[in-house]
Amino acid sequence: MRNRLLQPLETRLGGSKRCLSLHIPKIYPSRPATKLKESYIHCASDIPFLSTTCGKLLDYRADTTGDTIGYVFSHQNLRKTYGELRKDANKLAHGLLSLGLQPGDRIGIWGPNSYEWIVSMFAAAKAGLILVSVNPAYKVHELEYCLNKVQMKAIVAAEGVGRLRYYPYFQQLFPDLDKSSNRNLSSKRVPHLKHVIMLTKTSESFPGTLAMDEVVNTASKEDRQRMEGIAKVVQPDDPFNIQFTSGTTGSPKGATLSHFNMINCAYFSGLRVGLGFHINSYLCPLPLYHVYACVGNLLTCTVLGKKVVFPSERFEAEAALKAIQDEQTEYINGIPMMFGEILNHPNFDQYDVSSIKGAGLGGSPCPPVLIRECIKKFNTPKIGCGYGQTECSLSSFASFADDSPHDLIETDGYPMHHTEAKLVDGQGNIVPLGTVGEIWTRNYGTMLGYWDEEEKTKEVRRSDRWLISGDLGVLSENGSLKIVGRVKDMIIRGGENVYPVEIENVLLTHPKVASVAVCGVPDRRMGEEICAWIRLKDQADGKTEDDTTKAETVERELKTFCLDKLAKYKTPKLFVFYKSPAEIPMTVTGKVQKHKLTDMSVERLQLERFDRAQSAST
């Protein structure tokens, strides 16, 4: 990652210039006829890649459809054209360069969804900077880790999100912040950070920082000329975005994505959904700091020239419903948790959602029962799933709009164009068709690597460019993928492999179950036993009648239900009933952090702690 972007600008002048050549197929690219013989597939395509940068992409869009509304931020009452975004991004880029930032420097963006967020993103692109997406919910120690990990030179920050205020965190990192020169900060804790830019008109309330408007106003003619020079030499394969993986284990790693990675993932994602064919607008309730929103919504709509609507600064089910009605959006992306809250919102029937023609679920496993409910309540069959990773910039699998009902409901899609995928065993050998294996992919979205983590990069991105996912799946004869869980989440009970997702999907069909998370817990006799965390529907609705919530009665009922639908060894032995979704540890995309859930189960149920090796040797 410490590549040519970090060289002095003058050594790169005169470099080759590649322009955007946008190719839109005349007809929707439907699923190829496929009949696999093994768990390997290649979705070949004659649709060419886009070879450009995010800065040039915005220029192209502003030059071709500049007066078209491309971005709506409902909570800010803002509607912006492509031309307006380019104008605002250029001004901020000039200001960032006036601070002395150099191409290749890292600049963070920290805050909830806002128009200023996307202005900052495209400004970074135009100034040749590397954008670091920071989770708005981070506390000071998490922020400090990110700042130091990638040696951020500047950070653009909102005032906060919800009750969380950011300025006090900066005061902890810079004890003399209110006495500092806001053009050159200094701190032993974060020695590389020199500028804090607040998303405000003035910095009077935040001494030691700069306001965004002040940064814009510091630009000179020379800064504008310098930006034009930078645009000529920034290349599609240069790093542009560092995404800290939320991760279900370990410390966050900085997945580094290039302009090429992000733009092509956005492009092929839009084509797969049918954006520009039968879909003309997106609703995005997802957080912009995550690739699902930034690449799969913002960039996708920018590439294809379609409107994207952000209903709220952070997810609110009713705000999403209102935005669908007000903006007549035609497609909605989100994680399963979001769809569950939207569909079950008490005011759902008060809103007109008839404009919705399709929806995409991703980020975490998609229960078929939820997809069926989406189809029913949105009154459209075009509800599908996708599968991807931050490390591959977005999706490596996604449903086609014209897939069969079975493939839309029961699978996680077909490989993206120009994508190879295979399922392998523990030795890296391709497993027989229909057999569970670890998912490996190879395509245009594979990250450049983890920032400053060469060894960890080698653990997941092989020298032959195969990306090791750590996820388990099954490929069907027609090329569809079904996710069955994480390698590390698989439960080994008495020598039998048990996949939590299978059990969760069964329990979610029970009429009393609102949500469920299944994990393994240590057991001296079996090695591991199965524990199910259950949230009942009457608890989710705020009801607490004793006759429906007595744990012993419901537990017996659920065990009987599982025994009727699953092999005995897959039936949970232990149950924990919880009331609030906040009790379950999750990543930002709604994936349950199973290692934490196991620890919580051991503590709550007062189980004996030991590892698999100990149990196997006794």
* pLDDT confidence bin for 590, thresholds 50/70/90: confident
At residue 517, the pLDDT reads 94
The confidence score (pLDDT) of residue 250 equals 58
The DSSP letter of residue 550 is -
424 & 310 share domain = yes
Q: Are residues 511 and 583 in the same domain?
A: yes
| Residue 353: domain span | 40-50+242-486
Give the CA distances from residue 550 to residues 539, 554, 591, 605, 611, in Å, rounded to whole numbers and listed in that order: 12, 6, 28, 17, 32
Interacting residues of 63 by C-beta distance below 8 A, sequence separation 6+: none
Tell me what percent of the residues of the chain surpass a pLDDT of 90.
Answer: 75
- Are 197 and 209 contacting, i.e. CB atoms less than 8 angstroms apart? yes
Other Cβ atoms less than 10 A from the Cβ of 447: the count is 28
Q: Give the pLDDT of residue 90.
A: 97
Domain identity same for 594 and 450: no
Place of tokens 């594979």: 446
Among 128-132, 379-383, 445-449, 585-589, the least confident range: 585-589
If asked whether residues 497 and 473 sit together in one domain, one would say no
Q: What pLDDT, in 10s, does the model give residues 398-417?
A: 999 999 999 999 999 999 99
Domain co-membership, 438 together with 308: yes
In this structure, what CATH number is given to the domain that contains residue 438?
A: 3.40.50.12780
pLDDT at 428 over 90: yes
In a domain, 360, yes or no: yes
Report CA 526 to chain centroid distance, whole Å.
Answer: 36
CA angle (555, 559, 562) in 5-degree steps: 140
Query: Is 204 a member of any domain?
Result: yes
Mean per-residue pLDDT of the chain: 90
> What number is the average pLDDT over the span 538-554?
63
d(CA 432, CA 443): 22
pLDDT at 550 over 80: no
Q: Which of 383-387, 604-608, 612-616 has the highest mean pLDDT?
A: 383-387
| Contact between residue 305 and residue 70 where contact means Cβ atoms under 8 Å apart | yes
pLDDT tens digits, one per residue of 53-74: 999 999 999 999 999 999 999 9
Q: Is residue 278 part of a domain?
A: yes
What are 76-125's pLDDT values in tens digits?
999 999 999 999 999 999 999 999 999 999 999 999 999 999 999 999 99
* Contact of 605 with 525, CB cutoff 8 Å: no
Please say whether the beta carbons of 24 and 276 come within 8 A. yes
Same domain, 509 and 441: no
Report the C-alpha gap between 325 and 341 in whole angstroms.
Answer: 17
Among 441, 463, 486, the domain boundary falls at 486
Q: Is the pLDDT of residue 481 over 90?
A: yes
pLDDT of residue 12: 30
Report yes or no: 263 and 447 within 8 Å, Cβ to Cβ: no
Say what the pLDDT of residue 438 is. Answer: 96
pLDDT confidence of residue 610: 58
The answer to whether residue 99 is domain-embedded is: yes
The 10s digit of each residue's pLDDT in 321-362 is 999 999 999 999 999 889 999 999 999 999 999 999 999 999
Q: What is the mean pLDDT of residues 168-181?
A: 90
The CATH number for 611's domain is 3.30.300.30
Q: Per-residue pLDDT for 367 more than 50?
A: yes
Domain finish residue from 486, 507, 538? 486
pLDDT exceeds cutoff 90 at 180: no
Query: Does the pLDDT at position 544 exceed 90?
Result: no
Number of domains making up the chain: 3
- Per-residue pLDDT, averaged over 266-287, amounts to 95
Assigned domain for 96 exists: yes
pLDDT at 247: 53
Residue whose pair of structure tokens reads 């977005």 in the numeric block:
394
Residue 27 lies in a domain: no
Domain match, 575 and 550 both: yes
CA of 238: how far to CAs of 137, 144, 170, in Å? 28, 26, 30
300 shares a domain with 203: no
pLDDT, residue 21, reads 64
Distance of CA 118 to the CA centre of its chain: 16
354 and 433 share a domain?
yes
Pair 596, 553 in one domain: yes
Residue 485: per-residue pLDDT? 84
Q: Is residue 3 part of a domain?
A: no
Residues 574 and 611 in one domain: yes
Residues 186 and 130 in one domain: yes
370-387: average pLDDT: 95
Q: Which of 190, 214, 234 is the last residue of a domain?
A: 234
First to last CA, the chain: 48
Residues 151 and 192: beta-carbon distance below 8 Å: yes
- 10, part of any domain: no
pLDDT value at 543 more than 60:
no
What is the SS3 assignment for 241-280? Answer: EEEECCCCCCCCCEEEEEHHHHHHHHHHHHHHHCECCCEC
Using CA atoms of 588, 593, 599, 600 in order, give the dihedral in degrees to the nearest 10: 60
| Stated pTM of the model | 0.87
